[in-house]
Amino acid sequence: MPTTSAVSTASPAYWEPLWADGRRYRQLCEAEKQLMGEHLGPGGGRPALDIGSGDGSLARHLHHELGYRTTGVDCSPSAVAVATAHNSGTGPAPAWQCLDFTTGDLDTLRDPAYALITCRLVYRWMDEKAGFLGRVRRLLAPGGTFWVVTENAGRRTTTDPALLGLGIQLADAELLAAGWSVVRTADLDVLRCFALRP
């Protein structure tokens, strides 16, 4: 009998059908943008990488409002197409790249190191979190910032298992925050934002 293996939630096989089917995710709100302004500060043309960039909203905010020279990467070709469609053609836009960050060749990225790496609503889905964090550290410039936005388990009042499953467990939050010289956090309803510095 052939064995069946579950699809990784960090793979294009999981995400591409969702994006192709029109699924969209929680939009950036003003409160979240304000937290980013406070914790990240002005980019001044320094390179930023948004991992799991989805429709590109966060990468566009980094690029156009905060002044980072931003690259957005996503493993779903349909997500990258949605993000790219927002490029107006006038003025510099973020660069978009279809890349599975967990298995792809990081040397294909535009920059060898980034002053800012962001990942919003993505860490939850990385099934090999230690390996994911190792790849982030490899790309983070000295003195850079890793900005993570993730839902924490236990913050919702619902009993819907699908919604309850969106939050990360305490052990995964501890793994995320371990080994950085600076750890700052801010809460935004069910979300927690982490600003991590090596």
Q: For residues 10 and 127, is the Cβ–Cβ distance under 8 A?
A: yes
C-alpha pair distances (Å), 117 with each of 22, 67, 104, 182, 194: 26, 14, 17, 15, 12
* Residue at token pair 């993505």: 122
Q: Which is nearer to ligand SAM, 121 or 141 (CB)?
A: 121
Looking at residues 9 to 28 of the shown chain, list those that interact with ligand SAM (rule: CB under 6 A): 10, 15, 25
Specify the stretch interacting with ligand SAM by CB under 6 A; choose among 53-61, 107-115, 137-145, 170-178. 53-61
Instruction: Kindly tell me which residue out of 40, 79, 148, 173 binds ligand SAM, with binding defined by CB under 6 A.
Output: 79
Specify the stretch interacting with ligand SAM by CB under 6 A; choose among 37-45, 73-81, 136-144, 170-178. 73-81
What secondary structure does DSSP assign to 10-57, as a single string? TSHHHHHHHHHTT---PPP-HHHHHHHHHHH---TT-EEEEET-TTSH
CB of 7 to ligand SAM, least distance (A): 11
CB of 180 to ligand SAM, least distance (A): 21
CB of 52 to ligand SAM, least distance (A): 3
Q: Is 125 in the site for ligand SAM (CB under 6 A)?
A: yes
Q: Is 63 in the site for ligand SAM (CB under 6 A)?
A: no
SS3 (DSSP) at 196: strand
d(CA 135, CA 8): 18
CB burial of residue 170 (10 Å; 0-12, 13-18, 19+): exposed
Residue count at the site for ligand SAM (CB under 6 A)?
Answer: 20
CB of 1 to ligand SAM, least distance (A): 30
Structural tokens at position 194: 């982490």
CB of 50 to ligand SAM, least distance (A): 7
Looking at residues 83 to 122 of the shown chain, list those that interact with ligand SAM (rule: CB under 6 A): 100-102, 120-122
What secondary structure does DSSP assign to 81-145, as a single string? HHHHHT--SSS---EEEE--TTTS-GGGSS-S-EEEEEEES-GGG-SSHHHHHHHHHHHEEEEEE
Q: Is 76 in the site for ligand SAM (CB under 6 A)?
A: yes
Using CB under 6 A as the criterion, which residues of the chain lie in contact with ligand SAM when the complex forms?
10, 15, 25, 51-54, 58, 73-76, 79, 100-102, 120-122, 125
